[in-house]
A and B are shown apart, each in its own frame.
Chain A
Amino acid sequence: MSLRENAMDWAVRRTGRTPRATRSLVFALGCLAVLALGVVLTRMVDNPYVFFAGYVVIQYVALATGWNVLGGYAGYINFGPTAFYGVGVYMAAFLVKAMGAPLPVAIAAAGVAGALLGLAMGWMTLRVQGVYFAIATIALVVMAETVIHNIDYLGGASGLALMPPQAPAWAGGQPQFMLMVMLAIAVAFVALARWIEISAMGRGLRALKASEIAAECAGVPTFRLKLIACAVSGAMLAIAGAPYVYYASFIEPGTAFSLALSLNAIAMPLIGGKRSWVGPVIGALLLATVQQAASVTISSELNILVVGVVLILFVAVAPDGIVGIVEKLTRRRGA
């Protein structure tokens, strides 16, 4: 935190830009640095486990960030992020099986499918009351899984083995390439989330989160904003799923719609802090790294139990997450 502020101070003094433009510049440089670091690391590390574990962690950054666009900024909790993720996975699987589609095509198609699904869900449930949207998303996972179970072409309940196109030669192997792809997606998502946050849309979403009636009275087009947030969040969650087909080469409904994925995508922003883009990133890095490290030593049930208890604690005691705690501490020290 202080490092960032120092860097900003320095940049403001050197260039004379406005703080906001400077912050964006620092952010953009940070994004590039992360990407560059990713490329360098894939060249230097030999152990393939690092890439597989790293992919999972970074995928969680993408999922948590995508979820937070609707859940954090607008305050509409989506309990079925895996419904969207699974649709992305199966959209990519369909394209790979049908025409051996390259990754960018699969990602674009997954994004469109996720956005449409988000729009449909939002249109049907958001006009009544927020609670209904949340409940419908729980049932959406069951629905999506049922549909996949009934499509024999996609392997039904038993899953589907695929031969996705191989990574380009310069990447140095499939795991390395997939890690870079996921990193690029995650960085793009974080940048998009930050842009939404500081744009007029973010202000509108914050307003409707605080009070929907007041926002409506002040001329905020609440229903349209909610629909857009639903579509954007749905597209992001689905896009995060598309590369999984290229990463794993085998998919089944159980993993594409897994509960652990849903739980984590919800818990990470809530634990990190859901008001700004930093929260989901911190929550995802923290929780996913701990889980990757712990998956060797503790059972998956215990894993879910721990996440559940931590989630309850944060929701009950620190609704603004780690970012909220840090803010409170620094403010107290400043005053």
Chain B
Amino acid sequence: MILELLANAISTGVLLGCIYAALALGLAVSFGLLHIPNIAHPVFVVTGAFAATVFNAMGFDPLLVSLPLALVFYGAGIAFFEFYSRIYEKRGESDTMQALTLFFGVSLVIETVLVMQFGADQRSTDVDYVGQSLTLGPVVMPYRLLIPALVAPVMVTALWLYLKYTYAGIAIRAVAHDERALSVSGIDPGWIKRHAFGIAAATAAISGAALVIVGPIDPFAGRMQIGRAFAVVILAGMGSIPGTLAAGILIGVTEALVGAFGSPSWAPAVAFTMLLATLAFKPSGLFGAAR
């Protein structure tokens, strides 16, 4: 009995953790690689989720429709980065805190626009596999968790391969490492950063669609995820893409265990405790280089 509970808690935790990793993946690029503390990223994800519900109501599959939406988000991300860099990148590093305030304001504005457009009620998607489960021995995995969770390893692998083997991907990692050196070698760091921020925004469209399949969300769902997303990125180690998946699963499993053997109402505190513990004891994270 207790073993069954444990097995189910762990499998749910792994699935949840994959979804957390998908949420945090864009942040791993914008914060981890570009050092832009984009606290508006979870709100981008929620925007992606709302976009998915709109198209789902017309009869499209949320995950499939999120692929063309990702292109739209890529463009929006580039435009937003252009606005941000006009203001801040030129003022230099000392204004990181001001930039944070800008993102804070932007996330509030997006949230409020969502509330005014869609109301404060929860919205959900309608897909065939919701309500069914995959049973493997004692472990029961609902498809509404399993299918979006599978998105995370796919996204992580794709992004990791892109950063590792393509010209633009290598340039993105180079910009994270040394911007001056990149411009000396004849590549425009501005373009590379725009491109990377666009990719980060594009992931929000896909992970938003994944999030809204898991359960209904409201416009303020992003707020709960800010701490979790940053906890994943920092626990992974800044900019480590495969680490994001491991850190997400670690947090997801811990939350599920706390929920199963303690009380579910304590689950929101898990990510925050792990975030603080990482900052206090191992700021470089699990897979990151020392900073």
Contact = CB atoms under 8 A, between A and B. Distances in A.
Interface of A: 75-77, 79, 123-125, 127-132, 134-136, 138-140, 142-143, 146-147, 149-150, 210-211, 259, 263, 266, 270, 301-302, 304-305, 307-309, 311-312, 315-316, 319
Given A140-B272, A150-B263, A304-B108, A319 B94 contact: no
A84 to B, nearest CB: 15
Interface string B253-291: 000000000010110110111011001100100000001
B235 to A, nearest CB: 12
A93 B154 CA distance: 50
A139 B109 contact: no
Given A132-B279, A312-B109, A138 B226 contact: yes
Q: State which size class the interface on B falls in.
A: 35 or more
B227 A138 contact: yes
Contacts of A316: 87, 102
B205 interface: no
A139 B231 CA distance: 9
B101 A305 contact: no
Given A304-B112, A308-B108, A143 B269 contact: yes
Nearest to B267: A146
B113 interface: yes
A319 B99 CA distance: 11
B136 interface: no
A287 to B, nearest CB: 14
Given A266-B101, A301-B115, A131 B96 contact: yes
Nearest to A303: B112
A-B pairs, top 9 by smallest CB distance, nearest first, are: A139-B227, A308-B108, A312-B105, A305-B112, A311-B105, A139-B272, A124-B280, A308-B109, A143-B272
B116 A150 contact: no
Nearest to B87: A316
Contact of B230 (A123, A139, A308): A139
Contacts of A131: 37, 96-97, 100
B236 to A, nearest CB: 14
Given A128-B279, A134-B97, 18 more contacts: A75-B97, A79-B39, A79-B104, A124-B280, A128-B283, A131-B96, A132-B283, A134-B39, A135-B275, A142-B227, A143-B272, A143-B273, A149-B265, A210-B94, A305-B113, A308-B105, A311-B104, A315-B101
B39 A138 contact: yes
Contact of B100 (A77, A139, A143, A312): A77
B172 interface: no
A266 B102 CA distance: 12
Given A125-B276, A138-B227, A301-B112, A143 B104 contact: no
B276 A136 contact: yes
Contacts of B283: 127-128, 132
Given A135-B37, A308-B109, A142 B100 contact: no
Contact of B109 (A149, A211, A305): A305
B265 A150 contact: yes
Given A77-B97, A305-B109, A305-B113, A124 B276 contact: yes
Interface in B68-110: 87, 94-98, 100-102, 104-106, 108-109
Contacts of B271: 139
